[in-house]
Structure formats: structure tokens, C-alpha cells
Structure 1
Amino acid sequence: MKKILCLTVVLGLVAGAAAAPKKVVMIAGKPSHGPLSHEHNAGIQLLAKCLKEGAADAVAPAVKLNGWPSDESIFDGADAIVIYSDGGGRHPALQGGNLAKLDKLMAKGVGFLTIHYAVEPTTAKGNKEFLDWQGGCFETHWSVNPHWIANFNKLPKHPITNGVKPFKANDEWYFHMRFRGDNKGKLIPILSDVPPKETMRRGDGAHSGNPAVRKAVAAGETQHVAWAYRRENGGRGFGFTGGHNHLNWGNDDYRKTVLNAILWVAKAKVPKDGVPSKLTEDDLYANLDPKRGQRPRPRSAKSKKN
């Protein structure tokens, strides 16, 4: 009887451990750009709110606002890391020895997800690591960052698209991304479309155009603006190039794509209908960074004042 009781207790502990939510460290970058653009702090808090309300049994968000955490114990036990910040030379992952610290976590199979500008390291630092961790990244003088309306009318069958319906969104969708050119890992396109020729109106530059991308757009080649990646060591990555226009988080399918991806990179089970979430207009205007000019307000607040 004692043996049966002990076995029951042990099995219960094992089941409890298996059901523990995955820890997701969510890093928001410092204020950037104008109002309702690159709202890293508000955006991360919105996503964390949705995860706490709709996927608390699957993941446990640990949020750090305004840049890289000074207390790096936040990474202890992390199953995935999400970064929504400026990129290039200002990327928080590229400061000091942060890249090496992340590399140690990635070697353990920790998930890695970047949003918008955070998909861009530099060719001198971070490019190789980002390709290793999430299979692709923005590369200057190769990738471009125009604003355009992308129409995602064909979605692949994948846990990240669970419950996601075809949708359109006007955003600064980066494309012609640099993807791994070898057979290491598995790259899975998630959101893809053919950019209109108008995306090539600007001259050549580090972010605006180059001969290779002009040739691709002229040929009508499909471009992947969000993708999943399985590393050889079992770790997972996801790159999402949208996220410039803050109010796009109010689009249920846009938002669900990223919420599902967070669960997926953390190796949590994505619900068959995706992560449920609801946001009000007030939610979208909450926690905005203080920026030059009048603070944006919901339309409902404006109508009440009038």
C-alpha cells in the first residue's frame, strides 16, 4: 500500500512538472520613432497581457521594459526569449557581451523570437548568430523596409497558424530577408505575399533598395515576412517583420499569429484554435511611450470630450 501511495505521489509530481508553464522572457526596447510607431513597451505589455489571459497554463511571461535587463537572473529557466526593439547598432542583443550570453542559451535549445526592427542585427555583428537561432534576418543592402499592404490569403498548416484566418495589414513589412543558404535546420514560411512594384520607388540604400531585390520584385517573387525555424539542436526561432504600426495589434489574426508563435518557440502546445485574446481600444492606447507631440488617444475618449 505504501509503495502504491509513493508511486502515486511521484507520478503526480511528474505530471505537475510536465504541466508547468514555459517561461518566456519578453524584452521591450527603449522608446523609438513617433507616436504609435515602434511602441516596444506598449506592444510587449499587450502581448504579455494576452498571454496571461489566454495562455496562462502554457506560458509565463517575464517582462523587461526599456532595454536589456540589468538583472540577468531573469533568464534563469527561460524556455524562450522575445525581443521587440530597435535593431542595427542599437539592438539590445548586440550591446556588450549580450550576444555571447544569448548564444549560451540558444545552445541549450531556448527559443528565440524577434519582432520588427529587432529582426535586424548588423552584418558585422549578430548576422551569423541570428541565422543560426531563427533561420533568417534583415540584412542591409539586401533586405528592404517599405510600407505596404500585405495580403496573407494563403496560410500554411502549422501550429503558428492555428485559428488564424487570412488577413491584410498595412505595415512596414520587411522583405527579401537573408535566410540560411545551407540545409541546417528547417525554415518554415508563415506569412508570405508578393510585394507590389510600388515598394521599389525609393533609390538604392542600406534599407531602401538594391539590384537583387529589384530583380526579385520585378519577377513577382513571393516574399516571406514571417517565418518559423527549427534548429538542429531542437531549439525554435521565429521572425516577424511587422510591428511598426502599433494599432495593428488590434487585428485579431495579426496578433494571434505572434501569440501562437511565442508558444511554439517556447515548445508549449498551441491550442487548435490558437491563443484566444481580446483587446479594447483603451488597451491599444495604454502604456504608450512619452513622445514629442500630443499623446494619441482612443477615438472613444475624443468623442466623450467633444
Structure 2
Amino acid sequence: MGIARDWSLGQRSPWLRRQQGQPLTRKARVEASTEQFPLPLAIVPAYRAAALAQTVLRNQGSVTPLTGREVRQRPPSPPATTPRATPLSHHTPLASPQRKTADAAIGKYIVPRYHGSDLPADVVLSATFCEGMHHQAVGNHERVAWVVGCMLLTELSQCGQVGVGEDGRLHPVRGVINNDPALMAVLAKMQAERFDHAIVKWLEYLAREDRSTMLVWQRLVQAGAAAPARKRRMRRHPLLQLTDPRAAWWARQYLQQRATDASGHLGAVEIPPGAVLVWRGLRELPLDAGNLDLDPDIALQLEHAPFPAEQAPLFDALNHCLARLAASF
């Protein structure tokens, strides 16, 4: 009985009549316009009442046709009393503040100006582009990764967060952090180890898969000196390119500023240990004064400058690793 009652009600549904091709009365057409799909019979009256109320409000212009949300009428804008500004011509160059504002408005990324870096790893890696921003003068990427990794270890040693032992091991300071992302990545890895390992092990870790090169390259990207590294098909090493020509010859300027006084005279100042470490790293690549277009007198002074004794185990381990790398080819 219940099934027959539901079927009889269903036969009277305008939606079902339209689906079966039966003619609709005027009242049925009005009901079919508000009934877009079949609903359970228990909620059909409530749905029709809501649809009818929405139709009335829609005719009054206070709700949207689809969502039924209230539409706030925008007040008419007052008449313009001042003439509009004349747009700038495409041939008129913008001033610097206007250009920055326009670039920010369209979401254009503005590359920051590179002012150099005092970090040895940054100077050594950027020096490999001394012959051009888009080509590295040192084609041996593995050797570059070994040397740059050694420069990162010297930075950690200079800031006092990693001790270089005479036994050839590195002793990180536990519970400290470094604000530099590249140095913190290396320091966190050292702190996570249960025992202190040899320098050679950490050099191998940093040179594996160009890890040290990528860490330092990210610093150059953030400084506005380089473009993000791009992977290349059928190539083992990513494509690295500088974006600022100042970064290509920054190593030469860095050494000149630290080997001469304000008047440009040699021998008047004491060369800091950082410049000596940078010169030693450049020589291990190898890059000399001819590659860097450096004054030979400055190069000679850097060669005879006292080398930091606490950093000697790092470069002894580096020489051992580079000798093993050269024997593998």
C-alpha cells in the first residue's frame, strides 16, 4: 500500500512528468522551474516553499540567483571633479622610485644589488666564474665541491662552533645554533652524530652529490649574485650561472682590499687570516693570479703570509682527498 501511495505521488511530480514526456499544466511548469532534481517526498513541500521565497526575493533584487546570498547595492559614485592623470608614455623612462613601485605592483621580482661577501666559501665559489658569469673556469666539479666543503669547515672553525683537533677530528660544540642556513645544515649534521668523526669523513660528506656547492650557491642566490641552480637532462651536475658581474671579479677585489691599505700600498697592513684561507682555497682549485687578473705582488704577499696553525689539519686532509681524487681519474 505504501509503495502504491509513493508511486501515485511520484506520478504527480512535475519533474517525473517532464521526464516521461507528459504534458504539463501551467501550475506544473511553475513547479518544475523550481524543482531541478528529484528529492525525497518528505522534504518536497519544504523545498518548494524555500524556492518560492527565493524567487520572490530574486524578483526584488536582494539575493543572487544561484546562492541566495544577500547582495549589497553599491552606492552611485559621485561625479569626478578632478581630471584623471594622464598615463605615462611607453617611451618615457620611469624614475627609479616609480620603477620600483611599478615592478612591485605587477609582482616583478627585483634582484638585489650584490655588495660582496666576507665568507671564504662564497669568495672561492664565485671565483670559479672569473672568466665569465655563465661559465666556470674550473671544469672539475668534484674538485670544486671538495674545496668549497673545506671552506665551510673553516667558517665553522672561525666562529668557534667546531673545534679542529690535532688528531684529525672535528669536535662540534653541542647545543649551539648558527644563523647561516648553510653552516647550520652542516653543524646540525655534526651535532646529530654520536661520536666525533675525522675531517676526511666530513669532507667526503660535503663533496658527495655537490652538497657543499649547493649550500654555498644558495647563499649567493639569496645575496642576488646568482640564479637558482637548474637541473640538466643527461648531466650529473646542475647548471650554475651568476646574475651580477660584480660577483665574478669579487675574489680579486676581496684580496686587494685586505692586502693593501686605503692608499693602495702593499706591505702597510697585516693580511687577515680569512684572506690567507681564501687564497689557499683558490690555489687548491687551482686558480692563480693570472686567472683572477690579480697583481702579482699581491699574490706574492699572500703566499708568504703566515698561515693559521689551527686550520692546518683541515687543508692537510683536503690535500689527501684531492690526491686520491686525482688518482681515480
Please indicate, yes or no, whether the TM-score normalized by the shorter chain is above 0.5: no
Structure (1 or 2) with the larger CA radius of gyration: 2
Higher helix share: 2
Asked which structure has the greater RCO (Cα within 8 Å, sep 6+), the reply is 1
Give the TM-score taking structure 2 as reference length.
0.23
Higher strand share: 1
Give the TM-score taking structure 1 as reference length.
0.24
